[in-house]
Amino acid sequence: MKNGNRLSELRKKIKGVANPDVAKTMQWFFKTGKGEYGEGDIFVGLKVPTQRMIAGEFRDLSLIDLKALLKSSIHEERLISLFIFIYKFEKGDENEKEKIFSLYLKYIKGVNNWDLVDLSAPKIVGKYLLDKDKSLLLELALSENLWERRIAMLSTQEFIRNNRFDTTIIIAKMLLEDNHDLIHKAVGWMLREIGKRDLTAEEKFLKKYYKKMPRTMLRYAIEKFPEAKRKKYLQNKI
């Protein structure tokens, strides 16, 4: 099938399984109202398993078509494009991985809600940078854009999975005074992930900074701690 026709087939598939009732729920859930973090985002009503299924069916989509999807105003089209990007990244050689990583950064504006970030950043940005210079993530952590800061934090999940905690700790320090709840959650979550592998490393950070951490960040970080230890942290008694 010629380039472009395949994209039309994908969009036809999406339209055929769209659910307006699900769309309404998702627009509420992903905060698309005026002044909210997902303001103006458009949903057609596809749950994630359905989007994964469609991505699998259209994983042969060209990079040109994937760029068009990632620029789409429709949330599900952007997420499906990211699922296909991940598939191509995982199957590709080093040249293909670099190309997909570069496209991700070029069209990063399309990665603009927490699900899009969380499902893609570790598997593309994190995996690509695992054995490379991490300075890009420090730049993203300083961005005025909420989603770029979350990408910086979530990308380090791949490093944590490989027992490399330094970059996560550096970015966590950078984001300690961030004013957005979604960053507080992201930082706390990644600290908790460190703790699953090395509790000493997590507590070294916490003991130094827990009194400065936003409450949500701290709660996420200590979520799996024994109740008595959680209370000590929450009551500033460590």
CA distance 45 to 48: 10
Name the DSSP class of 190.
H
pLDDT band at 1 (very low <50, low <70, confident <90, very high): very low
pLDDT at 3: 55
**Structure tokens that stand for 67 in this block:** 């760029």
Average pLDDT of span 169-173: 98
Q: What is the CA radius of gyration of the chain?
A: 19
pLDDT at 102: 97
Residue 152's nearest CA partner among 131, 129, 132 is 129
CA distance 236 to 115: 33
Q: Is the pLDDT of residue 187 over 90?
A: yes
CA distance 67 to 238: 49
Residue 158's nearest CA partner among 98, 56, 58, 90 is 90
CA 93 to centroid of chain Cα atoms: 23
Q: Is the pLDDT of residue 21 over 50?
A: yes
**Structure tokens that stand for 228 in this block:** 């008595």
Stronger pLDDT, 55 or 4, i.e. the higher one: 55
pLDDT band at 111 (very low <50, low <70, confident <90, very high): very high
User: Per DSSP, what are the bridge partners of residue 42?
Assistant: 74
Phi-psi sector, 45: left (phi>0), alpha (psi -120 to 50), beta: left
- Determine how many CB atoms are found less than 10 A away from the CB of residue 229: 12
pLDDT band at 164 (very low <50, low <70, confident <90, very high): very high
Name the DSSP class of 36.
S
Q: Is the pLDDT of residue 4 over 90?
A: no
Query: 2 vs 7, 13, 68, CA distance in Å?
Result: 9, 17, 15
Average pLDDT of span 167-188: 98
CA distance 111 to 134: 20
**CB-based burial of residue 57 (10 Å sphere; 0-12 exposed, 13-18 middle, 19+ buried)?**
middle
CA 8 to centroid of chain Cα atoms: 27
pLDDT band at 13 (very low <50, low <70, confident <90, very high): very high
- Determine how many CB atoms are found less than 10 A away from the CB of residue 218: 22
pLDDT at 238: 87
CB 32 within 8 A of CB 41: yes
